[in-house]
């Protein structure tokens, strides 16, 4: 009997991944279907639908779902969901596809058919509708008006660029997923299906599990957040994004090595589990914090660690906007449809020389001149420019791994920092 939080949506884990003879038969059928080429973002979403990570979703959203999610955080059936999960297709690929047709979803980069889908709706999102989506999903307190937002969003916000560059037609419908791509092999032992992470937590006898979201290398602040979580929960799930990032972000293989080193040297290993998931970052700040909590609930986590500028990019969001948004979302009354994974809200953390240890704005009375302000973006910027890191910025073992990575790069990418990361 599991004591873990129930999967989101009230239907258990909705797994759409086929295996064995059933998969073989569907693959054979897929070979004769019209192919639609999918983006990297769609591929990640598709795998998450397949393994139950996006429970209760069993396919891509209708226009009613899209509108409800953007406007009210609710799908058409009243289930809480914070960001649209859409399948876009070029007009020429969508030509001739009718409601009721089955299609094959093709990953050109991996050269494989990832899934089949039964089309229940085909609709066009105009540029005006995409603009509306961006303002609803990506606009935060850092850009208080739409005019402020659009001055910089088209050039500087990768999530906005992703939406505005979507192909003309959106296709909705349930899927049968045939592949998890490269993830089970490339990240063997780290990549988990929700059923696998839940089994690990159950075996440990955990009921309260906190998730730490990572897309940057794990520095002292991340370590401190995890240790706070371990003190108040049964254990912590360090859950790294192993899908696509933006230029300048550090690849998953390097980040996994950093986590391994930290856990081995600075944690009671029995209280920590490391995992990876296959999504692309959307950089949606507060909305993405909600998404992280939603699918972590499916992985068995009842708490989501939310610190400073969670899932942010540039200066688009307020420092703690990803915390306060949890207090503003709807709570559907129907069983299972509300978000059950709650935020573990932690203030800005740093090393303080006068405190002689890690601290936060809630615990440290000293000035910023005494603090080593920790930021994954700053860490990447300093290392990419060959600079020295301040004492206590990162553990020595981690810094060695990261320096080796940067020394092996042949191309450098300019890394922009959030003004708050600079101590402004």
Catalytic residues: 215-216
| Cβ contact 270:244 at 8 Å | no
Rounded Cα distance, 180 and 211, in Å: 22
The count of C-alpha atoms lying within 13 angstroms of the C-alpha of 86, restricted to the half-sphere facing its C-beta, is 29
Query: Within 10 Å of residue 197's Cβ, how many Cβ atoms?
Result: 24
Contact 354, 229 (CB under 8 A): no
Residue 80: C-alpha distances to residues 159, 339, 358 (Å): 21, 6, 36
- CA gap 86, 59 in Å, rounded: 9
Residue 19, SS3 per DSSP = coil
Find all residues with CB under 8 Å of 286, minimum gap 6, and list them. 140, 310, 311, 317, 321, 322, 324, 325
Paired strand residues for 191 = 276
Distance CA 115, CA 179 (A): 7
H-helix or E-strand spanning residue 222: helix 220-232
Q: How far apart are CA 68 and CA 76, in angstroms?
A: 6
């Amino acid at each position: 009997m599991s004591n873990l939080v129930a999967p989101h949506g009230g239907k258990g884990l909705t797994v759409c991944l086929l295996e064995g003879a059933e998969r073989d038969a569907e693959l054979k059928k897929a070979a004769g279907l019209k192919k639609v080429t999918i983006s990297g973002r769609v591929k990640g979403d598709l795998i998450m639908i397949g393994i139950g990570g996006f429970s209760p979703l069993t396919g891509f959203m209708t226009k009613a779902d899209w509108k409800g999610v953007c406007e009210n955080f609710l799908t058409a059936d009243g289930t809480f969901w914070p960001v649209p999960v859409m399948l876009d297709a070029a007009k020429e690929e969508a030509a001739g596809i009718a409601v009721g047709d089955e299609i094959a979803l093709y990953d050109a980069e991996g050269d494989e058919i990832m899934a089949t889908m039964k089309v229940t709706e085909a609709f066009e999102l105009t540029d005006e509708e995409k603009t509306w989506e961006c303002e609803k999903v990506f606009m935060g307190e850092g850009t208080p008006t739409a005019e402020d937002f659009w001055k910089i969003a088209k050039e500087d916000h990768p999530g906005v660029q992703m939406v505005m560059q979507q192909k003309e037609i959106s296709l909705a419908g349930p899927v049968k997923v045939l592949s998890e791509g490269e993830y089970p092999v490339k990240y063997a032992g780290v990549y988990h299906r929700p059923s696998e992470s839940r089994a690990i937590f159950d075996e440990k006898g955990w009921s309260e599990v906190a998730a730490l979201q990572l897309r940057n290398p794990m520095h002292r602040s991340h370590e401190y957040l995890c240790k706070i979580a371990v003190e108040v929960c049964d254990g912590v799930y360090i859950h790294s994004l192993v899908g696509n990032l933006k230029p300048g972000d550090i690849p998953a293989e390097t980040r996994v090595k950093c986590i391994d080193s930290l856990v081995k040297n600075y944690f009671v290993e029995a209280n920590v589990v490391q995992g990876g998931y296959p999504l692309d970052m959307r950089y949606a700040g507060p909305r993405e914090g909600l998404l992280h909590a939603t699918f972590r609930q499916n992985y068995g986590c009842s708490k989501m660690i939310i610190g400073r500028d969670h899932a942010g990019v540039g200066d688009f969001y307020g420092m703690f906007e990803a915390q306060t948004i949890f207090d503003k979302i709807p709570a559907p009354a129907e069983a299972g449809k509300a978000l059950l994974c709650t935020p573990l809200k932690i203030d800005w953390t740093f090393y303080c020389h006068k405190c002689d240890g890690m601290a936060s704005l809630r615990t440290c009375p000293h000035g910023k001149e005494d603090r080593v302000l920790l930021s994954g973006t700053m860490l990447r910027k300093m290392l990419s420019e060959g600079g020295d890191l301040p004492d206590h910025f990162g553990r020595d073992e981690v810094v060695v791994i990261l320096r080796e990575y940067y020394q092996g790069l042949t191309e450098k990418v300019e890394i922009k920092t959030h003004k708050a990361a600079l101590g402004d």
